[in-house]
Structure 1
Amino acid sequence: MSETQEHAGWTHVYSGKVRDLYVPTKLLVDDDSWTGDPLTFSPVVLVVATDRVSAYDQVLSPAIPGKGAMLTSLTRWWFDQLPQVPNHLAHPLDDRLEVLGLPEVPAELAERGTLCRTLDMFPVECVVRGYLTGSGFKEYQATGAIGGLPLPAGLANGDRLPEPIYTPAWKAPLGEHDVNVSYDRTVELVGEVVAAQLRELSLEIFALASEIAEARGVILADTKFEFGADRATGIVTLADEVLTSDSSRYWDAEAYATASTPELRMASFDKQIVRDWLAANWDQDVSEEPPTLPHEIVEQTAARYRELLGRLTGA
């Protein structure tokens, strides 16, 4: 799935649906005692956001032009807005990294690549919902609650919740679906202290981000965060992409207040256009290749990514 495997000074070690990971080549060849998973022993990783797009656990074709650069730019911008939250960005002048003599980030990856410290990641996806929609709405319809948290009766799809709620998921092994879990289950997974930190940080970041987005005419309906422990200090650290179109659901505030239909009210700045088209044109039979995305669907999706980036950052 990788767009390319080789870049000067860096060795490709993993490809997910939409991201490629690289570690410094010198770490792999200079010390024979470092064996096994490179992400376990390497103190840094170069995370490259590709233009690939996925839906229903399938990587689709063609890619969305500029998507990787736009999501990387948005993540960097959000990290700048949250200086009080420890994050995984690596700085080559850090004492722990300077001695490594890290290679430069290749020019061809500069807009899509993020140099990060490797963390001991927690197996919890930290979901925060400020509005009732998506899978949360379906669960509410069936049970009157989300993740075991009871909600007021009579809420409609898209309604704002009385207050944001934390509804974590367990990060399943590669190839399996993440599973919504209760807060008590996260305590079992990571311990009481860390579970409480994950919930508190997630709600705090969501509140700050919501205020920033609303000032720009954008509603942050829900999002997910991922955290890990800094290997040197143990500090809980924000990682992965943050508050992007792929990890969050954003709506236009004016449309939300004035639109005549739920579809227009909750038109999101993400790949929902792709999901909707795929749902209408594919039976999700995983034994068959999903259909090729039409040019107009690709272009409309890219335009939504660009619009959100511009609305939030002014870029």
Structure 2
Amino acid sequence: MEGVMRTTLAEEGLRLLSTGKVREIYELDSSRLLFVATDRVSAFDVVLDSPIPQKGSILTQISDFWFKLLSKEIPSLKTHLIHAGLPDALEQTLKPEVAIQVQHRSMVVKKVNVLPIESIVRGYITGSAWTSYQNDGTFVGISLPSGLKESQKLEQPIWTPSTKAEQGQHDENISAQEVARIVGEDLARQIERLSLLIYEKASAYAAKRGVIIADTKFEFGVDESTDPPSLTLIDEVLTPDSSRFWSATKYEIGRSQVSVDKQYLRDWLVETSQKGKRGVAIPKQVAKDTSNRYNEAYQMLTGDPWDAK
């Protein structure tokens, strides 16, 4: 399939530390890692059998864009990003065809201690939150105002953390108290405050670009190399895989929204009764349409055309 990553850097002699659902992590040295985003796609915690063309490159470039923007908007923010792309020394040792494949889907990042939670912020009521609200007016123990309609903006964004499940397992929503038990009360408060602040800044920026960030997921680690150790934003950030992006011009309360994210693929799985199934092959047109939505998100957020890097 055109535009799909076809190699791994382990074949080129780089030490592979882990292979996640959609990412490969390599060791560069004692303090740096290389994140390589593949074109694999995960939905409902299952990796599908077919790749999405250009997905890894697009998501890496979106993350790079947000890391840089947020660092300007929040000067105190610590991120694990050192730079996007391959280290010069590594690029020079790779076969040219391999370097071309992985250059734009790679990030050099700091080694940090990864925290075992996912930090989710919701600004609109949709997805599982809407389903829960319809049942009893709450979501993960948080009471929400009566009379809300599907996709309505909440008076204030809410923090709804979850576990960070191993591959093949499912994330589970947990309370703020449970996060405090896992990582400590002080760190839990820092994660909540910082997540809400990042969401606020990102939402304000996205709104100017005609994008509504309905909800998003952040991941954090602790950088032990600083004194004191610092809470650090890691992984991908505010991508169509980790967020719900809606078109502001097509937004309408009381229904599901036109999305420019992975929701299109999720909807296809539900409609074809393949949600949560393994071994699912994505038809070429569905894969292309999903890729087009990632492309659209990149262009809407950055203001630049995607040039099939």
TM above 0.5: yes
Task: Give the number of equivalent residue pairs.
Answer: 285
The aligned amino acid for 2:162 is A
The aligned amino acid for 2:268 is W
- Looking at structure 1, the residues matched to 273 and 144 of structure 2 have their Cα atoms a distance apart, in angstroms, of 34
Cα deviation, residue 147, structure 1: 2.1
Alignment match of 2:250 (pick from 237, 255, 280): 255
Cα deviation, residue 156, structure 1: 1.6
Counterpart of 1:179?
A: 172
Report the secondary structure of 2:204's partner residue.
helix
Gaps of 5+ in 2: 305-309
Q: TM-score, normalised by structure 1?
A: 0.84
- Looking at structure 1, the residues matched to 146 and 119 of structure 2 have their Cα atoms a distance apart, in angstroms, of 25
Matched, 1:21 2:14: no
Larger Rg: 1
Cα deviation, residue 9, structure 1: 5.7
User: Which range moves more in the overlay, 210-219 or 144-153?
Assistant: 144-153
Counterpart of 1:104?
A: 90
Cα deviation, residue 3, structure 1: 4.4
Contact 2:39 2:54 in 1 (8 A): yes
Listed one character per residue, the Cα deviations across residues 221-242 of structure 1 (whole Å, up to 9, x for unaligned) are 0001011100212100000000
Contact 2:49 2:279 in 1 (8 A): no
Contact 1:88 1:118 in 2 (8 A): yes
Q: Structure 1 pair 313/91, CA: closer, same or farther in 2 (3 Å)?
A: closer
Counterpart of 1:88?
A: 80
Counterpart of 1:270?
A: 261
- Looking at structure 2, the residues matched to 232 and 7 of structure 1 have their Cα atoms a distance apart, in angstroms, of 31
Matched, 1:52 2:40: yes
Gaps of 5+ in 1: 28-41, 93-100
Alignment match of 2:273 (pick from 272, 278, 282): 282
Counterpart of 2:218?
A: 225
Q: Structure 1 pair 71/197, CA: closer, same or farther in 2 (3 Å)?
A: same
Listed one character per residue, the Cα deviations across residues 123-147 of structure 1 (whole Å, up to 9, x for unaligned) are 1211000000011111222231122
Higher RCO (CA-CA < 8 Å; seq separation 6+): 2
Counterpart of 2:307?
A: none
Matched, 1:245 2:240: yes
Cα deviation, residue 167, structure 1: 0.7
Contact 1:2 1:15 in 2 (8 A): no
Alignment match of 1:236 (pick from 220, 231, 241): 231
Q: Structure 1 pair 269/145, CA: closer, same or farther in 2 (3 Å)?
A: same
User: Which range moves more in the overlay, 148-157 or 204-213?
Assistant: 148-157
Counterpart of 1:200?
A: 193
Counterpart of 1:306?
A: 295
Contact 1:75 1:243 in 2 (8 A): yes
Q: TM-score, normalised by structure 2?
A: 0.86
Counterpart of 1:163?
A: 156
Contact 1:229 1:237 in 2 (8 A): yes
Contact 2:46 2:168 in 1 (8 A): no
Report the secondary structure of 1:279's partner residue.
helix
Report the secondary structure of 1:180's partner residue.
coil
Alignment match of 2:64 (pick from 76, 99, 102): 76
- Looking at structure 2, the residues matched to 285 and 20 of structure 1 have their Cα atoms a distance apart, in angstroms, of 23
Cα deviation, residue 119, structure 1: 0.8
The aligned amino acid for 2:49 is S
CA RMSD of aligned residues (A): 2.3
Contact 2:151 2:255 in 1 (8 A): yes
- Looking at structure 2, the residues matched to 13 and 81 of structure 1 have their Cα atoms a distance apart, in angstroms, of 29
Q: Structure 1 pair 285/158, CA: closer, same or farther in 2 (3 Å)?
A: closer
The aligned amino acid for 1:11 is R
Q: Structure 1 pair 312/285, CA: closer, same or farther in 2 (3 Å)?
A: closer
Contact 2:46 2:276 in 1 (8 A): no
Counterpart of 1:139?
A: 132
Report the secondary structure of 1:21's partner residue.
strand
- Looking at structure 2, the residues matched to 4 and 89 of structure 1 have their Cα atoms a distance apart, in angstroms, of 21
- Looking at structure 2, the residues matched to 149 and 188 of structure 1 have their Cα atoms a distance apart, in angstroms, of 18
User: Which range moves more in the overlay, 81-90 or 191-200?
Assistant: 81-90
- Looking at structure 1, the residues matched to 89 and 162 of structure 2 have their Cα atoms a distance apart, in angstroms, of 36
Listed one character per residue, the Cα deviations across residues 30-63 of structure 1 (whole Å, up to 9, x for unaligned) are xxxxxxxxxxxx4221111111112222222321
Counterpart of 1:122?
A: 115
Cα deviation, residue 284, structure 1: 4.6
Listed one character per residue, the Cα deviations across residues 86-143 of structure 1 (whole Å, up to 9, x for unaligned) are 1001369xxxxxxxx9943552311000011111111121100000001111122223
- Among all aligned residue pairs of Structure 1 and Structure 2, give the percentage whose two residues are the same amino acid: 42
- Looking at structure 2, the residues matched to 124 and 103 of structure 1 have their Cα atoms a distance apart, in angstroms, of 34
Report the secondary structure of 2:245's partner residue.
strand
